[in-house]
Amino acid sequence: MKTSIKIILVDDEVLFRKGIVFLLEREEKLKVIYEASNGNELISYLNKSSSQPDIIILDLKMPILNGVEATKIIHKKFPDIKVIALTSYDTKSFVVNMLQVGAASYLLKNSTPKDLIFTINEVNTKGYYYNENILKIIQEIAKAGKNTRCSLDTNFLSAREIEVLRLICLQKSTAEIAKELFISPRTVEGHRNNLLLKTESRNTAGLVVYAIQNEIATLAN
């Protein structure tokens, strides 16, 4: 039997937060295990509780400890927990900042309920999800930094690592990559970890930027 996706929701706007909780709990697979009004409450819960979430959905602008600082702590202390930013801030600097500190996805508050549910499921399955707007920003970052990066040494990454990297850029899950390349999911994760180390990327967004800058992959539809 499929287990529920355990979620924590963090937002200082109580009415908005309760609305999202109501929306999520109508979904059979989703279970909200905790609500917090700021990052400090969230981190305190994570440090004390034995029931850890699969996904945390949080706002950026909150009192005491904001979403960016909370995500930094989560990424370092609880790396298996995925963070989805749900915010009204759509400027490039906010998106870039959240991706750099380890957010698995970035969603605007004016998104549809369907978009939110889809994003949660994608992040749960793949570990990350970038919609069209976020991919566009990642592409802009990559192009802006292209001239500052050295060209790729062909011996730096193995042929298999390059194959895995290209499939990551297509937002394929570990299981999908394993099936396509006829290797085990564990081997895929090994290649992903090697890619992170070799390219000095902090997360999947960094890998995508690296791939574009070095012309290993594009984000063209």
pLDDT in tens, 12-43: 999 999 999 999 989 989 999 999 999 999 99
pTM of the model: 0.81
- The pLDDT averaged over each successive group of 10 residues in the chain (221 residues) is 84 93 91 94 93 93 90 90 90 83 90 94 89 84 61 68 89 89 92 86 80 73 46
The confidence score (pLDDT) of residue 198 equals 85
**How would you class 93 by CB atoms within 10 Å of its CB: exposed for 0-12, middle for 13-18, buried for 19 or more?**
exposed
One-letter amino acid for residue 183 of the chain: I
Tokens coding 169: 């850029």
Both tokens of residue 92? 């490039």
What is the model's pLDDT at position 17? 93
pLDDT of residue 76: 87
Cα-trace Rg, the chain? 18
Q: Which amino acid is at 115?
A: D
pLDDT at site 46: 95
Residue pair 181/140 in contact (Cβ under 8 Å)? The answer is no
Predicted local confidence at residue 63, as pLDDT: 87
